[in-house]
Amino acid sequence: MRVVRSATFRRLGLCALFVVLQLSLNACRTQSAHIAPPAAASRSPAQTSTPPAATHYTIDAQRSQVLVLVYRDGPMGHLGHNHVIAVRELSGTVVMPQDPMQSAFQFDFPVESMGIDEPQLRAQEGADFESTLDEAAIAGTRDHMLGAALLNSKQYPRIHLQSEQIRSTADGLIARTRIVVRDTTALVEVPVAMQHTDDQMTVSGEFDLTHAQLGLTPYSVALGALRVAERMHVRYRLIATRDH
Look at 97 and 26; give whichever has higher pLDDT.
97
Architecture of domain 55-242: Beta Barrel (2.40)
Task: Give residue 49's pLDDT.
Answer: 55
Q: Where are the domains of the chain?
A: 55-242
**Cβ burial 201-232 (10 Å sphere, 16+ → b, else e):** bebbbebebebebbbbebbbbeeeebbbbbbb
Can you give the pTM of this predicted structure? 0.75
pLDDT tens track for 59-102: 999 999 999 999 987 887 777 788 899 999 999 999 999 898 99
Alpha-carbon distance values, 91 to 120, 137, 150, 164 (Å): 23, 29, 23, 18
**Looking at the predicted structure, is the pLDDT value of residue 238 above 70?**
yes
pLDDT tens track for 172-214: 999 999 999 888 899 999 999 999 887 999 999 999 998 788 7
CA 63 to chain centre: 17
The percent of residues in the chain predicted with pLDDT above 70, rounded, is: 78
Which amino acid would we find at residue 191? Answer: P
pLDDT tens track for 92-138: 999 999 898 999 999 999 999 999 999 999 999 999 999 888 999 88
